[in-house]
Amino acid sequence: MNQYDLNLILNPSLSAEQMQTEKEYIETAVKNAGAEIAKLDDVGNRRLAYAVSKEREGYYLMYTIKAAGNPETAIAASLRLRDNVRRVLVVRDRPEWKTKKA
C-alpha cells in the first residue's frame, strides 16, 4: 500500500455542524476511492499567502491516507465539486523525503 498526503483548504466561516458534515463527506470520498485514513491533522484557520475566492483565510485539514493503486484523481475530483472546499492537493508520500542529510 502506498501512503498519500491529502491536504484541503475549506471555507473558514463554516459552523461546527457544517465542518463535521464536510469531514464526513471527505471520509466517504476517501473510502469510495478504495483508500483508508491513517491520520488527520486538523490545523484550523490560517492566513493564506494569497486570496482564494476573495478570502484571506482558510481552514486547513491534512490527512494521511493509505491506498493501493493511484487514488489521486478519484479523490480530488470528488472533493473539488464541494462548494466549501477551496483547494485540494493529493501527493504521494515518499520515504526519501523524510531522510535527514548528513
CA distance 57 to 32: 29
Q: What confidence score (pLDDT) does residue 102 get?
A: 61
Identify whether 99 is part of a domain: no
- List, for residues 5-45, the tens digit of each pLDDT value: 999 999 999 999 999 999 999 999 999 999 999 999 999 99
Residue 69 DSSP code? S
pLDDT band at 79 (very low <50, low <70, confident <90, very high): very high
Q: Can you give the pTM of this predicted structure?
A: 0.85
Identify whether 102 is part of a domain: no
Phi, psi of 44 (to 5 degrees): 95, -165
Phi, psi of 78 (to 5 degrees): -75, -35
> Among candidates 40, 36, 32, which has minimal Cα distance to 75?
32
Number of domains in the chain: 1
Q: Would you call 91 exposed, middle or buried from its count of C-beta atoms within 10 A (0-12, 13-18, 19+)?
A: exposed
CATH number at residue 57: 3.30.70.60
Identify whether 79 is part of a domain: yes
